[in-house]
Amino acid sequence: MSSYVRLRLDLAYDGAGFHGWARQPGLRTVQGELEAALDTVLRVHGSSLTVAGRTDTGVHARGQVAHLDADPEAVASAAGAGDLDPCAALARRLNGVLEPDVRLRRVTAAPGGFDARFSATWRRYCYRIADDAAAVDPLTRGHVLAWGRRLDLDRMNAAASQLLGEHDFASFCKKREGATTIRSLLDLSWARVDGVAEATVRADAFCHNMVRSLVGCMIAVGEGRREPAWAAEVLARRERDSAVTVVHAHGLTLEEVGYPPDDELAAQADRSRVVRTLAP
Amino acid sequence: MSSYVRLRLDLAYDGAGFHGWARQPGLRTVQGELEAALDTVLRVHGSSLTVAGRTDTGVHARGQVAHLDADPEAVASAAGAGDLDPCAALARRLNGVLEPDVRLRRVTAAPGGFDARFSATWRRYCYRIADDAAAVDPLTRGHVLAWGRRLDLDRMNAAASQLLGEHDFASFCKKREGATTIRSLLDLSWARVDGVAEATVRADAFCHNMVRSLVGCMIAVGEGRREPAWAAEVLARRERDSAVTVVHAHGLTLEEVGYPPDDELAAQADRSRVVRTLAP
């Protein structure tokens, strides 16, 4: 493509019906559905998205961000003549083509230097657990885990506080050759919202299974099976511990992706590319 | 039954999988599922529930209340020997038998004079509409109506304020022979919650289709198809107006049922029985 426009896509999806974000032949994935919709609406072939958070099977998103490099003429033509805002028109067209379990919330022309993945400075996830029959809501059962035992959030917060900061999170990650497992955990805390236990988990980035392993570790503490200090012991070991359960995907939602001010987008992207590809 | 204990059941359900509350042969209904679960757990036949709000097909509930008159020995035996709280044990057993789209939140021994239907002084419903692509959340699409046109809540609140108080709501009701359509509308207002337009609708009781007709009327005003004063005109006509749409069921949730203090439960039930069966 000699000349293109980079579009920022803000999107939300119910992970239940998808085999995760990443395109896979023969499986329904968010990336696959979106790229097919883009091909249809833009009348092109091979639309290719870059995403901020590659969610696993069953994981939801409310604040996912992706980018697409598109032919400006295809965008204008899809929007239709005379449309004052071609990006908004594109979002409407895409939502008309997509199933209701994935929605474009906004399409905008990305600022210079923007990269949905590498410009991001943090990702914020929420894990929700209804650990009390009185708090179980059938209307939210698709994204809130029902748990049979009561959780002590004070204990879980005591465990969480020991994990904050920059560490090698190898104990909580599915290892991938040649990639670092050092991450900065910026927020990790539990609170009750309408009776539901909600974890806020924010980091510069996450390695595979990291949020669900952290939550699994803290559930063991919240139930009283482990002491809060156990979390720090697991972390210090720097290798996967079979006692740490990777909890169910359906309680996990990617809520928000953070980006720096526009004039720092390019520099942030350069920094991330170096760090993320460095061997540990 | 010579001696019985009256149980209060607080429950929640996702209306999508039910043909409404009321038992119907051959159809899956909330009452049908619950009574079958009670028969199983209590090892009886013909358990019969009385409910505060008979919801239609597709309507949800978070704060539904019902009562059951049960044999105390059957309850004790279902709870198991040595259980400190037989009602809590019964709730657990029922939740173990029921599908996850209906949940018992609490089972308690009802105070004297309690009648789930007739002791209630008000019912509160919420109707939720996502009228903006940025507010549409795939995770809540089962109980929030997605609406293609933007709604002006100020206009809708202007219309709503004219409907408050005691009126004959025949214009908004599916008529039933020999029953009054006079109701006291205690709250009717719209607010934005996380971008979603939410109506709070509270009345002493509702006649059939009343909430969904009121919302349909206000949507016409919010879209600008009608003026706010139209709501009062429809009300004054006292007969069904084909211009008032009965909106989709799935945006509607019964949130809460209000009861007076325990020592007024019996008197309230007596009053309601008289009023509700009086011809208009």
Q: What number is the ipTM of this complex?
A: 0.91
Question: Residue B242: phi, psi to the nearest 5?
Answer: -65, -15
Chain B within 8 Å of A16 (Cβ-Cβ)? no
Which of these, B24, B9, B28, lies nearest to B101 by C-alpha position? B28
Averaged pLDDT, A154-162? 97
Q: What is the CA radius of gyration of chain A?
A: 20
Give the 3-state secondary structure of A45-78: CCCCEEECCCCCCCCEEEEEEEEEEECHHHHHHH
Per-residue pLDDT at A274: 78
What mean pLDDT is reported for chain A?
A: 93
- Alpha-carbon distances, residue B279 vs A67, A221, B71, B264, B275 (angstroms): 64, 61, 36, 25, 9
Q: What would the two tokens of residue B277 be?
A: 């069966």
Q: CA of B195: which chain A residue's CA is closest? A: A105
Q: A56 catalytic, yes or no?
A: yes
Chain B within 8 Å of A125 (Cβ-Cβ)? no
Chain B within 8 Å of A64 (Cβ-Cβ)? no
Distance CA A131, CA A139 (A): 16
Chain A within 8 Å of B142 (Cβ-Cβ)? yes
CA B137 to chain A, closest CA, distance in angstroms equals 7
Report chain A residues whose CB lies below 8 A from the CB of B251.
none
Chain A within 8 Å of B260 (Cβ-Cβ)? no
Averaged pLDDT, B219-245? 94
Per-residue pLDDT at A280: 40
With residue A255 as reference, give the H or E element that holds it: strand A252-258
Which of these, B208, B209, B211, lies nearest to B185 by C-alpha position? B211
Is the pLDDT at B276 greater than 90? The verdict is no
- Alpha-carbon distances, residue B239 vs B141, B168, B172, B183 (angstroms): 33, 10, 8, 15
Which of these, A92, A122, A112, A113, lies nearest to A104 by C-alpha position? A92
Contact criterion met (CB < 8 Å) for B100 and A14: no
Q: Say if residues A151 and A129 touch (Cβ distance below 8 Å).
A: yes
Is the pLDDT at A243 greater than 50? The verdict is yes
Q: Say if residues A105 and B133 touch (Cβ distance below 8 Å).
A: yes
pLDDT digits (tens, 9 = 90+) for B201-214: 999 999 999 999 99
Q: How many CA atoms, within 13 angstroms, populate the side-chain half-sphere of residue A230?
A: 19
Per-residue pLDDT at B279: 42
Q: Which residue has the tokens 């757990």?
A: B41
* A176, burial (CB in 10 Å: exposed 0-12, middle 13-18, buried 19+): exposed
Averaged pLDDT, B11-16? 98
Nearest residue, CB atoms, B14 vs list A100, A102, A138: A138
Q: What percent of chain A has pLDDT over 70?
A: 96
In a mutagenesis test of the A interface, which of B59, B93, B103, B127 is the best target, namely the one with the most A β-carbons within 10 Å? B103
Q: CA of B131: which chain A residue's CA is closest? A: A105
With residue B95 as reference, give the H or E element that holds it: helix B86-97
Per-residue pLDDT at B241: 83
Chain A within 8 Å of B64 (Cβ-Cβ)? no
Chain A within 8 Å of B248 (Cβ-Cβ)? no
Task: Tell me the residue ranges of DSSP E strands in chain B.
Answer: 5-13, 49-51, 60-70, 102-109, 122-130, 145-146, 165-168, 182-193, 196-203, 252-258
CA B108 to chain A, closest CA, distance in angstroms equals 12
Distance CA A267, CA A115 (A): 11
Q: What would the two tokens of residue B14 be?
A: 């996702």
What mean pLDDT is reported for chain B?
A: 93
The whole-angstrom distance between residue A99's C-alpha and the CA centroid of its chain comes to 20
Question: Residue A8: phi, psi to the nearest 5?
Answer: -95, 125
Is the pLDDT at B177 greater than 50? The verdict is yes
Report chain A residues whose CB lies below 8 A from the CB of B133.
91-92, 95, 103-106
Nearest residue, CB atoms, B102 vs list A13, A138, A146: A138
Determine which one of A10, A14, A56, A115 is catalytic: A56
The helix/strand count (H/E) of chain B reads as 7, 10
pLDDT digits (tens, 9 = 90+) for A9-54: 999 999 999 999 999 999 999 999 999 999 999 999 999 999 999 9
Q: What would the two tokens of residue A183 be?
A: 């991450």
In which band, very low, low, confident or very high, does the pLDDT at B46 lie, cut at 50, 70 and 90? Answer: very high
Q: Enumerate domains of chain B plus CATH numbers.
A: 5-109 (3.30.70.580), 122-267 (3.30.70.660)
Contact criterion met (CB < 8 Å) for A103 and B137: yes
Q: What would the two tokens of residue B187 be?
A: 């709250």
In a mutagenesis test of the A interface, which of B13, B55, B139, B194 is the best target, namely the one with the most A β-carbons within 10 Å? B139
Chain A within 8 Å of B14 (Cβ-Cβ)? yes
Largest CA distance in chain A: 64
Distance CA B164, CA B32 (A): 35
Report chain A residues whose CB lies below 8 A from the CB of B136.
12, 95, 103, 105
Find residue A257's DSSP bridge partners: A123
